A and B are shown apart, each in its own frame.
Chain A
């Protein structure tokens, strides 16, 4: 290790975001795996003398494209040949000690944009400085391009590999010059996914593909009902199944369980079939989600948590010329990523290793440390490619199970969840409800809005903290608990200008384990809000886009930490209008003679991304069948760094939203999850896919992320379209033909 190395491990200042920590270069922490003569000016970047440029994705890949986009940010400023860089996924420890890659909230591109470009630019400046010194010329007269530094005057040239050793001795510049975006030649272009070739060849390696020498496989029989506890189990028949090695209790997951551990997956599944387990019901074991949903509107009366108050909504409502009132229900939802939950653990006396597809290396490490009793420094978490995340992999209950099990049996083991396990025993999007009361003046203008919303605590966090939520329900939030959290999203940061606004919330935490789901709290609040605006538009006979534009006086509205630029939202709505004009024009009915209609919705995600959507639906005349024909989305999420990836995320988020809008929900009867596979938890299939049109309005603002952002707009756009087509207003998801008939 060269003695000069510590001087390079400096902190690269970024723009005050946490991302600065992610490219932190620590004096005390040397990359033990870095080659002696390599150049490692950032944890996420390495150049070796053989001209190999290696970039690490600074976030975890679940399909959203961070393995492609984040290295692009470094490569853009570093000036290397994109087709020749090698891209790796980081693991905890080693050169990344002290860092984490926690991936959530559509935040990767926005949080890393400045930091990773700074890392690339700093490295480029060091390579140029090394060349200039060697040639005795000014750095300003040198030029870096495609991994080569050249000097115009003398025609000297050197590759980055040739300069690596010398550059490694230079200090890291704290404020390197970043390119003006107009000079980008990689960012902003349509770049294909870097792991595409591996995926199509079947070589992409996911958590379930982890194979460790001596590894066993475990299938867990978990408590079948919420709050049920284990009484006893009989392993006699299970142990007769060839290949079964252990039958043991696992107590550290979301629910108590008995694990059948065997030499391979099939033996574990067979052994589990033969296992006899007796469970005792708990206090919450009669939970019924339909009853819970039916009773949710009663919660509006106890909406005592202040969320946001502006003006005097009660007084304005009392004087309003007319009132409109409606409420909306959003059921429990499962994530159901295609790769089921899994974790492979090898817990030894003094060290432990985990291989896990996760969005949260930090919580994985925390659970692993707590359960094994080992310090984090003795634990390595290998972050595997995820077969879908969607928020389900944002907590680490499967890591806890694997840690518990491997510690007990003293052998490496892969905890494998079946589809049925995954559907019923994880955590869920909470069921929530929205109630709106609007006051309109004589001209039909919205002068007052009371929004009573509901919010659920995410009880998976309490479970991670060691609480049994069924014997010790979570504490109520303090009176400012929602407002301080700027929650619920979509209720707190309602982007419209409403003179008198009152948003209050009720806590509707249920015995169902709950956690983040794609777009978190927005899907319910935006379904309600954007449906309700449509109801007002129809009531006063106003075009629904015009109604929204009238509520957007082009101010930058400050709501807590969010600067909501109403002009940007108005711009996407105006762009949407030009796209949907064709839908309103009279035209001959298609041969199928179905009812048709379109509906719109809009939202701002955390003051950052501005979206408007139009859905066109068709219905059979007897309402026996509903089909979404087309969805047009206009997006301003700041600078589009990879339009190909951005459009892919729009396609993804819309498909996700459509599944929840038309098909999916999770029910519980007698405390047990009802749906168990994609046969009954239905998700959108290819033949139900509408035509999609995605319009990117690049405002030039900093990139603001996107992976979740279109999800909440889908349900209201479709519900509004169904109303336009049928005159039927569906206020409870999913929007099935039956729901339309009884609406």
Chain B
């Protein structure tokens, strides 16, 4: 691997603007104070009800992560093409990044934290048995997808597995073990 011996140009991009816009800073993290233009939502997650004041367009993903500190639901793409943010909406796998708060009314959500009390869901057990995860970042979304699949289709075919996981990305390439884990989990459920 080559190193480039560069001259020291300490200011990489000389600042073009003189004005740094500063505003009074308020309470920051996690944000608790309602902001203007917000709507109040009653959000049911993992069996608990939360009052959330949010922009109606705000994706459920950011409410889970930034307001409710449920960090197991991951950001991967923000546009619904990677599956990392998969949660259950009334038992169905959905993408939290594509679920606006305005569409959450009346629904019950479950995240990876609520899938089982202590990591004992058949999918979680099977995942450990098959040693599926590598970096693990995509795996909560994968497990939520698998749990929804097996609930709806207790005996999934290979085509069923392909159909739902086609919409998930794992850059570490755990697909081979993932498939084995889904089969194993279905076996545990049966």
CA distance A208 to B135 in the complex (A): 14
Q: How large is the interface on A (under 10, 10 to 19, 20 to 34, 35 or more residues)?
A: 35 or more
B5 to chain A: which residues have CB within 8 Å? 465, 475
> Which of B8, B73, B79 is close to A419, meaning CB atoms less than 8 Å apart?
B79
CA distance A566 to B2 in the complex (A): 27
> Which of B6, B27, B119, B175 is close to A466, meaning CB atoms less than 8 Å apart?
B6
CA distance A64 to B123 in the complex (A): 22
Write out, one digit per residue, whether chain A residues 312-337 have a CB within 8 A of any chain B CB (1) or not (0).
00000000000000000000000011
Write out, one digit per residue, whether chain B residues 24-56 have a CB within 8 A of any chain A CB (1) or not (0).
011111110001111000000000000000010
Whether the Cβ atoms of B4 and A457 lie closer than 8 Å is yes
Whether the Cβ atoms of B17 and A338 lie closer than 8 Å is no
Say whether A340 faces chain B, with CB atoms less than 8 Å apart: yes
Known: A242-B36, A466-B10, A467-B9. A263 touches B26 (CB 8 A): yes
A337 to chain B: which residues have CB within 8 Å? 135, 137, 171
Whether the Cβ atoms of B81 and A679 lie closer than 8 Å is yes
Known: A63-B134, A467-B9, A689-B175. A202 touches B111 (CB 8 A): yes
Say whether B187 faces chain A, with CB atoms less than 8 Å apart: no
Minimum distance in angstroms from B136 CB to a CB of chain A: 3
CA distance A62 to B134 in the complex (A): 8
CA distance A248 to B20 in the complex (A): 5
CA distance A243 to B20 in the complex (A): 17
Whether the Cβ atoms of B128 and A338 lie closer than 8 Å is no
Chain B residues 143 to 190 lying within 8 A of chain A, measured CB to CB, are 143, 161-162, 165-179
Closest to A62 in B: B135
Known: A195-B136, A338-B170, A655-B173. A211 touches B69 (CB 8 A): yes
Whether the Cβ atoms of B136 and A264 lie closer than 8 Å is no
CA distance A96 to B60 in the complex (A): 40
Minimum distance in angstroms from A596 CB to a CB of chain B: 20
Known: A63-B136, A338-B169. A419 touches B127 (CB 8 A): no
Q: Count the B residues whose beta carbon is within 8 Å of the partner chain — how many? A: 91
Say whether A388 faces chain B, with CB atoms less than 8 Å apart: yes
Known: A418-B78, A467-B9. A338 touches B135 (CB 8 A): yes
A193 to chain B: which residues have CB within 8 Å? 131, 133-134
Whether the Cβ atoms of B175 and A678 lie closer than 8 Å is no
Majority-rule SS of B interface residues? loop
Write out, one digit per residue, whether chain A residues 437-462 have a CB within 8 A of any chain B CB (1) or not (0).
00000000000000000010111011
Of the candidate stretches A180-188, A227-235, A285-293, A730-738, the one touching chain B is: A227-235
B22 to chain A: which residues have CB within 8 Å? 246, 409
Whether the Cβ atoms of A251 and B21 lie closer than 8 Å is no
Whether the Cβ atoms of A202 and B66 lie closer than 8 Å is no
Minimum distance in angstroms from A394 CB to a CB of chain B: 9
CA distance A232 to B1 in the complex (A): 38
Whether the Cβ atoms of A411 and B84 lie closer than 8 Å is no
Say whether A582 faces chain B, with CB atoms less than 8 Å apart: no
Task: Name which of B69, B124, B172 has the most chain A CB atoms within 10 A of its CB.
Answer: B172
Say whether A310 faces chain B, with CB atoms less than 8 Å apart: no
Whether the Cβ atoms of A200 and B139 lie closer than 8 Å is yes
> Which of A198, A217, A248, A461 is close to B4, meaning CB atoms less than 8 Å apart?
A461
Closest to B124 in A: A200
CA distance A644 to B177 in the complex (A): 11
A105 to chain B: which residues have CB within 8 Å? 1
Closest to A196 in B: B128
Whether the Cβ atoms of B6 and A648 lie closer than 8 Å is no
A369 to chain B: which residues have CB within 8 Å? none
Closest to A386 in B: B135
Taking A200-B127, A686-B179 as given, write out 10 further A-B residue pairs in contact, using a Cβ cutoff of 8 Å, ordered by the A residue number.
Answer: A196-B127, A204-B136, A216-B29, A242-B37, A266-B59, A385-B135, A419-B77, A462-B6, A648-B131, A655-B172
Q: A-contacting residues of B (Cβ < 8 Å)?
A: 1-17, 20-23, 25-31, 35-38, 55, 58-59, 62, 65-67, 69-79, 81-82, 84, 111-113, 115, 118-119, 123-124, 127-128, 131-140, 143, 161-162, 165-179
Q: List 11 A-B contacts (CB under 8 A).
A: A199-B136, A199-B139, A205-B71, A230-B17, A252-B12, A263-B29, A467-B12, A468-B13, A475-B5, A520-B1, A654-B173
Q: B-contacting residues of A (Cβ < 8 Å)?
A: 61-65, 105, 192-193, 195-206, 208-209, 211-217, 229-233, 235, 239, 242-249, 251-252, 255-256, 263-266, 270, 336-340, 385-390, 408-409, 411, 418-419, 455, 457-459, 461-463, 465-468, 472, 474-475, 477, 481, 485, 487, 516, 520-521, 644, 648, 651-656, 677-679, 683-687, 689, 692
